[in-house]
Amino acid sequence: MRLNFLYVLLARLMKWHAGNGVFFSQQAYEKFHWLRLEALEVVKRSKEGQTPTLEDLQVLDQIYTGGPSKPSNLKHDHPGLDAWLKTDPSGLGLSGALKNDLGGYTFTALTVTRK
């Protein structure tokens, strides 16, 4: 039962990536990578008999939504969270990076050439 949720989450992440990943900026793709890495880590621990915890969900949520620092009360290793914060100490999450790709948080300039 506990693995079913995780498999569905991973399957949906992969399906979403297949349909949208080609449009990611490098920044958004890196954040997606860390989210996927963390989800795979939760699956691995679950296969070893550990039930997914509220902490696991909070870490996945932080990678998605953002936050500038690692929570101090974590009980497990979180390689996706650690790598994400190391590569982007600002704590911009996947959702913010996707918003940037759409021009919501940063200035985007496009040049159109007409013949």
Tens-binned pLDDT, residue by residue, of the chain (115 aa):
456 777 787 788 788 778 777 677 888 888 888 888 888 888 888 888 888 888 888 888 888 888 767 767 777 777 777 777 777 777 788 888 888 877 765 444 545 566 6
Is 77 within a domain?
yes
**91, 85 Cβ separation under 8 angstroms:** yes
Of residues 68, 65, 64, 73, the one with CA closest to residue 85: 68
Is 80 within a domain?
yes
Is 65 within a domain?
yes
- If one counts the domains in the chain, the total is 1
What is the C-alpha to C-alpha distance for residues 98 and 13, in angstroms, rounded to an integer?
Answer: 14
Is 84 within a domain?
yes
Instruction: For CA atoms 88, 32, 101, 69, give the dihedral sign.
Output: negative
Is 108 within a domain?
no
Is 68 within a domain?
yes
Is 58 within a domain?
yes
pTM score of the predicted model: 0.71
Is 115 within a domain?
no
Which pair of tokens denotes residue 84? 């994400």
Q: Which range of residues forms the domain containing residue 57?
A: 2-100
What is the C-alpha to C-alpha distance for residues 113 and 91, in angstroms, rounded to an integer?
Answer: 36
Which pair of tokens denotes residue 57? 């969900």
